[in-house]
């Protein structure tokens, strides 16, 4: 076989492997996907809406005053995540929306591609230390882990960040073995892009250091290529991070040291809190399922007993880097620790393969059938857990937006109060290509807080008359309320609902839209729509 034929064969094998790796997780997504609006907490709809913002910014081509454009846009559609998150995902998605439209499906497509890219990187760096079968098993286990599967179908930044972080991991792994400048440059570039996607890219710094501890090669960094790579990374990320620090730095410091999103277990969050030490190890069951976690622990023990730990430097580096990066932070969430899951998947696959070989050798079982059975058992465990993972299925906000758009005129404003204001705002923009209406948020006009009501809460109206005056001054044509409140009761929001229901002359009931919500811990609720009539002068 000549070099040309061999290259073609390798290319075909690579394409075939990629297709196999992609088919199972994407097939499971197709089987379990249901019609759903962009709701995953409060973040998902803001990621979509921020992407729409970039699309509109590019098509309007108002490049002379980008800050002014963003401020005007936010006043019309107050559901953006600018500077709360780095902008790369939203920018790329916005470019795609220029050609494919403003549907949430565009953002979901980008997330799905990120999942496939992540899986491909996992295959690449595990195939360097294991045979093809074990590398493919690792990759498919990784792609079908419950938390990976979940964040591969919802519009969140975890998968796009994962794809770029693992690309940097893959290239640095190659560089640490070959010291080719090309791999160092690609590792630096993908790390920079990851940092422009999500702050979690900080995990790469301890990862690089850990790999160098295991494999050596510190002196290989003392050259002009390292200087160029680091300088280029700083030039790419520096301006964006300086802007974020200037405009939102205080919020991000508070998030790291106090967690503006609150605590899962109800205890006080804190930077370097003692309870943080065991959070991420104890969250592995949520991330992968307890069976896979237990098998992975066995695999880790086998790897640590290996004589050549340098061989597993990348996998051990991901575990160590993930733990030391996220454990000190005040906000503890299982989704922050996903960057060690390629290693967990490999450890589980490695242990499964070792057990299959042990049984085949000691029991005289068929090696092929024993290995196939062990692999199938591991895959069925993760795939089944992924398929039955509870999903965020929320439907109803589109119908409410359609009603409001049908019964308003260009230039009208709509007042909305509720947790998923971003979902309603997205549909007010998506269904109105003329961009001729404006959304008003109750938690900007009547009260304000950061992320949850217990953080930085402010009230702008104490009495009902003050509240009514603020609404009248805002001059909405319609008022839309989530009723009843289904998450984190806010007394000021409840006061608003009592006011609206007690003043039918000002708030004329028009219709209600039932919300289909699959989230078990939330009560049934609806969207109530009122036509607003300004109150006459005088006391309420």
pLDDT in tens, 222-235: 899 999 999 999 99
**DSSP class per residue in 17-76:** HHHHHHHHHHHHHHHH-----S-BTBHHHHHHHHHHHHHHHHHHT--S-HHHHHHHHHHH
Residue spans of alpha helices (H) in 77-157: 88-100, 104-127, 132-143, 146-151
The 10s digit of each residue's pLDDT in 106-129 is: 999 999 899 989 999 999 999 999
Helices 43-60, 104-127: axis angle to 10 degrees equals 110
Confidence of residue 20 (pLDDT cuts 50, 70, 90): low
Backbone φ and ψ of 514, nearest 5°: -70, 140
Q: What is the pLDDT of residue 24?
A: 66
Q: Is 489 helix (H, G, I), strand (E, B) or coil?
A: coil
Among 511, 503, 505, smallest CA distance to 530 is for 511
The 10s digit of each residue's pLDDT in 503-531 is: 999 999 999 999 998 887 888 999 999 99
Q: Assess contact for 381 and 289: CB atoms under 8 A.
A: yes
pTM (two decimals): 0.92
Confidence of residue 219 (pLDDT cuts 50, 70, 90): confident
Residue spans of alpha helices (H) in 284-420: 284-288, 290-305, 313-326, 341-363, 367-387, 397-406
Mean predicted confidence (pLDDT) in 267-282: 84
Would the pLDDT of 160 be above 90?
Answer: yes
Distance CA(239)–CA(90), nearest Å, equals 17
**DSSP class per residue in 282-318:** HTHHHHH-HHHHHHHHHHHHHHHHSS-GGGGHHHHHH
Q: Assess contact for 56 and 433: CB atoms under 8 A.
A: no
Among 14, 97, 3, 94, smallest CA distance to 54 is for 94
């Amino acid at each position: 076989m000549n070099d040309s034929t061999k290259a073609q064969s390798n290319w075909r094998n690579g394409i075939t492997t990629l297709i196999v790796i992609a088919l199972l997780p994407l097939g499971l997504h197709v089987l379990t996907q249901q019609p759903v609006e962009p709701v995953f907490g409060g973040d998902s709809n803001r990621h979509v809406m921020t992407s729409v913002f970039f699309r509109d910014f590019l098509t309007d081509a108002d490049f002379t005053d980008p800050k002014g454009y963003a401020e005007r846009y936010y006043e019309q559609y107050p559901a953006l995540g600018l500077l709360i998150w780095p902008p790369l995902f939203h920018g790329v998605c916005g470019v795609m929306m220029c050609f494919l439209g403003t549907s949430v499906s565009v953002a979901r497509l980008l997330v799905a591609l990120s999942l496939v890219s992540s899986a491909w990187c996992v295959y690449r760096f595990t195939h360097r230390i294991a045979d093809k079968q074990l590398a493919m098993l690792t990759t498919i286990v990784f792609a079908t882990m419950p938390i990976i599967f979940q964040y591969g179908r919802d519009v969140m930044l975890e998968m796009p960040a994962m794809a770029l972080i693992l690309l940097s991991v893959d290239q640095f792994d190659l560089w640490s073995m070959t010291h080719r400048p090309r791999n160092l440059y690609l590792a630096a570039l993908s790390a920079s892009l990851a940092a422009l996607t999500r702050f979690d890219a900080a995990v790469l710094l301890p990862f690089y250091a850990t790999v160098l501890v295991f494999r050596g090669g510190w002196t290989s960094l003392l050259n002009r290529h390292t200087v160029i790579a680091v300088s280029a990374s700083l030039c790419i990320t520096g301006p964006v991070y300086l802007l974020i620090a200037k405009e939102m730095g205080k919020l991000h410091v508070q998030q790291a040291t106090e967690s503006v999103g609150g605590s899962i277990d109800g205890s006080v969050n804190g930077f370097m809190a003692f309870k943080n030490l065991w959070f991420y190890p104890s969250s592995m069951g949520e991330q992968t399922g307890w069976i896979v976690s237990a098998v992975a622990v066995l695999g880790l023990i086998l790897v640590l007993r290996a004589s050549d730990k340098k061989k597993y430097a990348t996998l051990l580096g991901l575990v160590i880097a993930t733990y030391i990066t996220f454990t000190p932070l005040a906000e503890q969430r299982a989704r922050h620790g996903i960057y060690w899951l390629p290693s967990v998947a490999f450890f589980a696959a490695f242990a499964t393969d070792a057990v299959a070989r042990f049984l085949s050798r000691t029991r005289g079982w068929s090696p092929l059938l024993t290995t196939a059975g062990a692999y199938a058992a591991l895959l069925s465990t993760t795939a089944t857990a992924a398929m039955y993972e509870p999903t965020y299925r929320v439907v109803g906000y589109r119908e409410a937006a359609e009603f409001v758009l049908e019964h308003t005129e260009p230039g009208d404003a709509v007042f909305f109060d509720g947790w998923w204001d971003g979902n309603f705002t997205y549909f007010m923009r998506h269904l109105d290509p003329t961009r001729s209406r404006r959304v008003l948020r109750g938690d900007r006009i009547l009260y304000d807080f950061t992320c949850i009501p217990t953080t930085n809460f402010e009230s702008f109206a104490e009495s009902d008359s003050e509240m009514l005056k603020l609404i009248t001054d805002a001059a909405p044509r319609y008022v839309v309320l989530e009723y009843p409140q289904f998450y984190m009761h806010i007394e000021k929001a409840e006061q608003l609902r009592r006011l609206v229901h007690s003043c039918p002359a000002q708030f004329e009931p028009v219709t209600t839209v039932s919300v289909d919500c699959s989230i078990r811990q939330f009560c049934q609720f609806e969207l109530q729509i009122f036509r607003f009539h300004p109150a006459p002068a005088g006391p309420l």
